[in-house]
Chain A
Amino acid sequence: MNEITLAVKHLHKNIGKRKIIRDISFELKTGEVFGFLGPNGAGKTTTIRMLVGLIKPTSGTIHICGYNVEKNFPKAMEWLGCIVENPELYPYLTGWENLKFFARMLDTVDDDRIQEVVELVGLDNRIHDKVKTYSLGMRQRLGIGQALLNKPKVLILDEPTNGLDPAGIREMREFIRYLAEEEGLSVLVSSHLLSEVQNLCDRVAIILNGEIIHTEYMHTLLTKQEKLIWRVSPIDKAFTILQKAAPSAKQDQTYIITPYLEDSVANWSKLLVEAGIEIKEMNRKIPSLESLFLELTGGNSFE
């Protein structure tokens, strides 16, 4: 279950003299959800467009299930499903007609498969309505349905939760996890929100100014970067105690900030309580993308 389905090696893209993408390399394995995390304009969408063959890379190779995207485009695309940016479908066709339309461009898809996909994305009730009457969430689901028609091994979703309400985001997250865990797909999702990828992805690549600056398993990244915020009284006494236990502890006005270390936290609070300090609040906090970048890049390359 650990074969490589998508392999990207030394990808570059120049537009004129500007280097949009610089030396991006990564691999996706079956059953894995891989996150592309970066601010808007970092090069996520450009990279994704190269992966799906919409943009020609200046140099570097992309292989999907062993097929080179540039040299053997139709073969490579047989194993790929994707939504690039918004799920744009033909508004004047019904959901079913849209799926049927894309099925005609594939050799292996019959009506049974379309029905199966419709049920999978939960659109049975509205599938024969025109797409222009769909909500954004329904369009997103139809878009995924379209991407799943050919039973791909690699699914690429660009900002899949963009514009969805909280319930929709949750639903989408569960669906993507299901596809990876139960169906064994490799899923690549991009996002500009750390909070969004943290519950969704197994591994994440942080991309900035066209470069991957960091690739890490999600749980390692979070343990490294997660913070614990303490509101205690008296604060000065607490700070000396915590600083002894966790040397990187910082005092920020009325709060003390320490790293979040699951195994040590209980011990620290015990120390505080034994010293007669009142703990008013302990808050585990995920860093914002900006502060994560600052940490990872030493604070000077976030232009």
Chain B
Amino acid sequence: MNNLVYNEMFKLVKSKRIIVVALIIAVMISMFTYAQYREMENIKKRLGDTDWRTTLQQSIIDMQNRIGSSGISEEWRNQLKVRISQSQYYLDHDINPQDPGAPTFLRIFLDNSMQLLLPLMVMIIASDLVSAEKSIGTIKLLLTRPVKRRKILLSKYFTLILSVSLILFIFGFFAYAISGLFFGYRGWTAPILTGFTVKNGELDTAGVHLIPQWSYILMVFGLAWFVSVVVGTLSFMLSVLIRSTAAGMGVMLAFLISGSIISSIASSWQEAKYLFMVNLRLTDYLQGNIPPIEGMTLPFSLTVLAIWGAAGLLVSFLVFTKRDIY
């Protein structure tokens, strides 16, 4: 088995697919970093010479006054307290919240690439794993070795999971290294608000608390890994089913894009929440964004994704081990 996985990784590296993915990620990140940098310059210009510490101090005093006033709900008061301690942290540690450093860029970038960019990168690898062997004809050699077909496919699937992990690592590494050149490398311990829940379509902030940024980023990475594995598994299935890599990629791309469209328009179509592509933005739950369709929660989305992934894997194995190769 080790030999088989080694073989598959060897091919990925030699066929330069991994390198292409790494290059795309590097270019993307450089572009976003520059855009973000220009944006911040702009904000600074507008604020003029005002010291950000003064502004922050002023807003803390405002919030404290509001807590003191009577007639505000317990829940609101609680949230204000959390926000005050967040602002206080920035003051104490001399961090400009508008100029937060590489870890914050990494977090925001990862949040935003989970729905499309990251699945796309995974797709480049996954949709090629089986169908490329078919289109260059090496599948005939691969399947006439003294190795069972399911072992061949399993080695390819392990390769997929390894590549997903590698892609996420490349993602994190480049995002941190490149954006750090502009924003500095500090900010791992900055406090991040989390703990939102949604009840009856409204945001419940009762459980909101602060966690250090590094632990938030770890959670986001975990979720991103899960999403990538599921999207990868489905592309993998298409790669088994469809002979042409391009067609497989096209189908998957259509699904991914339709996912973001449905999320934004179809809040009254309840059943859409069982589609895998609507459930990709897992970090929304951490940030307290209202989910696109009522009834969606983090455990719900994880379950839907897991079921889609398991079904995709099952179909891949059934078809691959049974099918005649012409």
Chain A: residues with CB nearer than 8 A to chain B?
Answer: 49, 52-56, 73-78, 80, 82, 84-86, 88-93, 97, 101-102, 104-106, 146, 150
Chain A residues with CB under 8 A of B68:
none
Chain B: residues with CB nearer than 8 A to chain A?
Answer: 3-4, 6-7, 10-11, 14-16, 136-138, 140-141, 143-148, 322, 324-326
Which of B3, B325, B326 is within 8 Å of A105, CB to CB? Answer: B3
Q: Are B136 and A91 in contact (CB under 8 A)?
A: yes
A-B pairs, top 6 by smallest CB distance, nearest first, are A88-B137, A77-B146, A54-B325, A74-B146, A55-B324, A104-B3
Q: A55-B326, A97-B14 are in contact. Are A89 and B138 (CB under 8 A)?
A: yes
The total of Cβ contacts below 8 Å across the A-B interface reads: 76
**A interface majority secondary structure:** loop
Q: Are A53 and B141 in contact (CB under 8 A)?
A: no
Which of B6, B145, B325 is within 8 Å of A55, CB to CB? Answer: B325
Q: Are A84 and B140 in contact (CB under 8 A)?
A: yes
Alpha-carbon gap, A274 to B154, bound state (A): 79
Q: Are B326 and A77 in contact (CB under 8 A)?
A: no
Q: Are B326 and A80 in contact (CB under 8 A)?
A: no
**B interface majority secondary structure:** loop
Cβ distance A56 to chain B, nearest Cβ, rounded Å: 6
Cβ distance B59 to chain A, nearest Cβ, rounded Å: 58
Alpha-carbon gap, A90 to B10, bound state (A): 12
Chain A residues with CB under 8 A of B146:
73-78, 105-106, 150
Cβ distance B320 to chain A, nearest Cβ, rounded Å: 12
Alpha-carbon gap, A76 to B143, bound state (A): 13
Q: Are B148 and A56 in contact (CB under 8 A)?
A: no
Chain A residues with CB under 8 A of B3:
104-105
Q: Are A54 and B136 in contact (CB under 8 A)?
A: no
Cβ distance B251 to chain A, nearest Cβ, rounded Å: 25
Chain B residues with CB under 8 A of A86:
137
Q: Which residue of B lies closest to A51 (CB)?
A: B144
Which of B10, B136, B141, B324 is within 8 Å of A56, CB to CB? Answer: B324
Alpha-carbon gap, A85 to B138, bound state (A): 11
Q: A54-B324, A56-B324 are in contact. Are A80 and B144 (CB under 8 A)?
A: yes
Q: A49-B325, A49-B326, A55-B324 are in contact. Are A102 and B145 (CB under 8 A)?
A: yes
Chain A residues with CB under 8 A of B147:
74, 77, 105
Alpha-carbon gap, A76 to B147, bound state (A): 10
Q: Are B7 and A90 in contact (CB under 8 A)?
A: no
Which of A84, A91, A97 is within 8 Å of B144, CB to CB? Answer: A84
Q: Are A88 and B138 in contact (CB under 8 A)?
A: yes
Sample 27 A-B pairs with CB under 8 A, ordered by A number: A49-B324, A49-B326, A54-B326, A56-B322, A74-B146, A74-B148, A75-B146, A77-B144, A77-B145, A77-B146, A78-B146, A80-B144, A82-B144, A84-B140, A85-B140, A88-B138, A89-B141, A90-B14, A92-B16, A93-B14, A101-B7, A102-B141, A102-B145, A104-B3, A104-B4, A105-B3, A150-B146
Alpha-carbon gap, A82 to B325, bound state (A): 15
Cβ distance A170 to chain B, nearest Cβ, rounded Å: 26
Chain A residues with CB under 8 A of B144:
52-54, 77, 80, 82, 84
Chain B residues with CB under 8 A of A146:
141
Instruction: Given A56-B324, A75-B146, A88-B136, output 15 extra A-B contacts at Cβ < 8 Å.
Output: A54-B324, A55-B325, A74-B146, A76-B146, A78-B146, A84-B144, A85-B140, A88-B141, A90-B14, A91-B136, A97-B10, A104-B7, A105-B3, A105-B146, A105-B147
Cβ distance A81 to chain B, nearest Cβ, rounded Å: 9
Cβ distance A18 to chain B, nearest Cβ, rounded Å: 14
Which of A97, A104, A106 is within 8 Å of B6, CB to CB? Answer: A104
Chain A residues with CB under 8 A of B141:
88-89, 102, 146
Chain B residues with CB under 8 A of A53:
143-144
Alpha-carbon gap, A53 to B16, bound state (A): 31
Give the one of B15, B16, B322 with max A CB within 10 A: B15
Which of A49, A73, A90, A101 is within 8 Å of B148, CB to CB? Answer: A73
Q: A78-B146, A104-B7 are in contact. Are A88 and B140 (CB under 8 A)?
A: yes
Chain B residues with CB under 8 A of A73:
146, 148
Q: Are B145 and A90 in contact (CB under 8 A)?
A: no
Q: Which residue of A lies closest to B142 (CB)?
A: A105
Chain B residues with CB under 8 A of A78:
146
